[in-house]
C-alpha cells in the first residue's frame, strides 16, 4: 500500500477546526500503530477564507483539492459572513465551488441508528432499532441547476418564478451506477425514487435506471417508488430500505428526513464522490452533516463523531481500507455504548464529556480493539 495518500484538510468555520482536530489524532494513531501514513495539507475555506483572502475559496486551495486523493471538510458558515447581496462572497459558495470543480455528483448520506442512541429518535425503538440505510443523492443536476431559471415581471403587479427540473441520460446513469455498486457491497437491494407519474424527468429517470439495471446490475434487486410515498415509507417502515437513489431535490428532502430519524445530526457523516478516472480513483469530499454551530465554537463542546465517521467513509471509499473504517466505526459505537455523551446527545444517566474527552475515549477504544 503506497504511503503517499494525499489528504486536504479544510477545517472551515465554527466548530470545524475542533472536530477536525480529532481526525488528526486518529491519523496520527494510524501512523504510529498501523504504519498507515497520510500526507496531510491544510487550507482555508468558507468564512475563514473570506477573512484571510476576501474570497470563500482561493484558486490555490482549489488546486490543492484537485491534487489530493480526498478532501476532509469541517463545516462552513455563520452569521458573521451572512451577506445575501453578494452570494459569491458567502462561505457556502466555497463549498459549492469545490463540489463543482471536483465534479462531485453523488452524495452519500448514511442514516444509521446506533443501539446506544435508539431512544434519541422521535420514532418508536422497534421501528428504527438497527436501522442502517444509505441515500445516494444526485448532487450537480436537477432543479437546483436547470435553465431557464429566475424571477420575471409579467405585468399587472404579477411576478413569475421559474426553476427547471432537467436530467440527461448520462447524469442519471452515473449516479445510479454508484448506487448499484453500493447495493452490491451491502444487501443487494436498491430503491429508486422519483415522480414518474407526473414529471417527464422522473419518467426518464425510471427508464434509465431500469435500463442500466437490465444491462449491468440484474443481480441487484431493484424497486421503483414515487418519492412522496418514499417519504411516508421512511417513517412507517424504514427498515424495508437499504440503498436509495434519487435526484437532487428529492434527495435533499429525503436525506434530511432520514437524518432526523436517527435522533442527532451530530452523529451523521456524508461523502460526495466524482467519476472514476482511468485508475478507478474518484475525487471525493467528506464532511459531517451538521453545520458550523458558531454558538458553541471554541468551547470544546462539539460532537466529533460525525466528522470521525466521515473519515471512516474516506478510509472505505477513497482508500479501500475497509478494515480500518470498521475499526473506527466500532470504536465510536463502543464508546457510546459505554455511556459517553457530548451535550447534543446527552441523556439521563450518561456521562457528559467534551470534544477532547470524546476523542480521548475513541482513541483508547481504538487501541483496545486493535490490539
Strand partners, 12: 75
CB 18 within 8 Å of CB 355:
yes
User: Which residue of the set 144, 211, 242, 360 is catalytic?
Assistant: 144
Radius of gyration of the chain (CA): 21
- Residue 75 assigned as binding residue: no
Q: Write b or e for each residue in 165-200: b if 16 or more Cβ atoms lie within 10 A of its Cβ, otherwise e.
A: bebeeebbbbbbbbbbbbbeeeeebbbbbbbbeeee
- Residue 69 assigned as binding residue: no
Cα 359 to Cα 44: distance, rounded to the nearest angstrom:
23
Beta strands 243-246 and 282-288, pairing class: unpaired
- Residue 298 assigned as binding residue: yes
User: Which residue of the set 58, 189, 228, 239 is catalytic?
Assistant: 228
- Residue 187 assigned as binding residue: no
Q: CA 300, 306, 309: angle at the middle one, nearest 5?
A: 125
- Residue 282 assigned as binding residue: no
User: Which residue of the set 252, 283, 317, 344 is catalytic?
Assistant: 252
- Residue 39 assigned as binding residue: no
Backbone angles phi, psi at 263, to 5 degrees: 105, -20
Q: CA 5, 10, 12: angle at the middle one, nearest 5?
A: 165
- Residue 301 assigned as binding residue: yes
- Residue 296 assigned as binding residue: yes
Q: Which residues contact 360 (CB under 8 A, 6 or more apart)?
A: none
- Residue 291 assigned as binding residue: yes
User: Which residue of the set 69, 167, 195, 247 is catalytic?
Assistant: 195
User: Which residue of the set 132, 242, 256, 360 is catalytic?
Assistant: 256
The answer to whether residue 277 is catalytic is no
Q: Residue 244, CB half-sphere, CA atoms under 13 Å: how many?
A: 33
Strand partners, 160: 152
Backbone angles phi, psi at 230, to 5 degrees: -60, -40
- Residue 252 assigned as binding residue: yes
Cα 85 to Cα 316: distance, rounded to the nearest angstrom:
40
The answer to whether residue 344 is catalytic is no
- Residue 331 assigned as binding residue: no
- Residue 56 assigned as binding residue: no
- Residue 31 assigned as binding residue: no
Helix (H) or strand (E) holding 286: strand 282-288
- Residue 302 assigned as binding residue: yes
DSSP 8-state secondary structure symbol assigned to residue 172: H
- Residue 192 assigned as binding residue: no
The packing angle between helices 200-216 and 169-185, to 10°, is 50
Closest CA to 289 of 116, 90, 137: 137
The answer to whether residue 195 is catalytic is yes
- Residue 297 assigned as binding residue: yes
DSSP 8-state secondary structure symbol assigned to residue 168: -
- Residue 299 assigned as binding residue: yes
List the binding residues for substrate.
Answer: 99, 109, 137, 228
**Residues that constitute the known binding site:** 99, 109, 137, 228, 252, 256, 291-303
Annotated binding site for Mg(2+): 228, 252, 256
Residues with catalytic roles: 144, 195, 228, 252, 256
Which residues are annotated as part of the binding site for NAD(+)?
291-303
Amino acid at each position: 500500500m503506497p504511503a503517499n495518500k494525499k489528504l486536504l484538510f479544510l477545517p472551515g468555520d465554527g466548530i470545524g477546526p475542533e472536530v477536525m482536530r480529532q481526525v488528526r489524532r486518529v491519523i496520527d494513531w494510524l501512523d504510529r500503530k498501523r504504519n498507515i501514513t497520510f500526507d496531510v495539507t491544510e487550507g482555508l475555506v468558507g468564512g475563514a477564507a473570506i477573512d484571510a483572502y476576501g474570497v470563500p475559496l482561493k484558486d490555490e486551495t482549489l488546486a490543492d483539492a484537485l491534487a489530493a486523493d480526498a478532501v476532509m471538510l469541517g463545516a462552513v458558515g455563520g452569521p458573521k459572513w451572512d451577506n445575501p447581496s453578494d452570494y459569491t462572497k458567502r462561505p457556502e459558495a466555497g463549498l459549492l465551488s469545490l463540489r463543482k470543480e471536483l465534479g462531485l455528483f453523488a452524495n452519500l448520506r448514511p442514516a444509521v441508528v446506533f443501539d446506544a442512541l435508539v431512544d434519541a429518535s422521535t420514532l418508536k425503538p422497534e421501528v428504527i432499532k438497527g436501522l442502517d440505510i444509505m441515500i445516494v443523492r444526485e448532487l450537480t443536476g436537477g432543479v437546483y441547476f436547470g435553465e431557464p431559471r429566475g424571477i420575471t415581471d409579467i405585468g399587472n403587479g404579477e411576478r413569475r418564478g421559474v426553476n427547471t427540473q432537467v436530467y440527461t441520460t448520462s447524469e442519471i446513469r452515473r449516479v445510479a451506477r454508484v448506487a448499484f455498486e453500493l447495493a452490491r457491497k451491502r444487501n443487494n437491494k436498491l430503491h429508486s425514487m422519483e415522480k414518474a407519474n407526473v414529471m417527464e424527468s422522473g419518467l426518464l429517470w425510471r427508464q434509465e435506471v431500469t435500463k442500466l439495471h437490465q444491462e449491468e446490475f440484474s443481480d441487484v434487486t431493484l424497486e421503483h417508488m414515487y418519492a412522496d410515498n418514499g417519504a411516508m415509507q421512511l417513517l412507517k417502515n424504514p427498515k424495508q430500505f437499504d440503498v436509495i437513489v434519487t435526484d437532487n431535490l428529492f434527495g435533499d428532502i429525503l436525506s434530511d428526513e432520514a437524518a432526523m430519524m436517527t435522533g442527532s445530526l451530530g452523529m451523521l457523516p456524508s461523502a460526495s464522490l466524482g467519476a472514476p478516472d482511468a485508475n478507478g480513483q474518484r475525487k471525493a469530499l467528506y464532511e459531517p452533516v451538521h453545520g458550523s454551530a458558531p454558538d458553541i465554537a471554541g468551547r470544546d463542546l462539539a460532537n466529533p463523531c460525525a466528522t470521525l465517521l466521515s473519515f471512516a467513509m474516506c478510509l472505505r471509499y477513497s482508500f479501500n481500507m475497509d478494515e480500518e473504517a470498521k475499526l473506527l466505526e466500532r470504536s465510536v459505537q463502543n464508546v457510546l455504548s459505554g455511556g459517553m455523551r457530548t451535550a447534543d446527545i446527552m441523556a439521563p444517566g450518561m456521562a457528559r464529556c467534551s470534544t477532547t474527552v470524546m476523542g480521548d475515549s475513541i482513541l483508547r477504544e481504538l487501541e483496545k480493539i486493535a490490539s
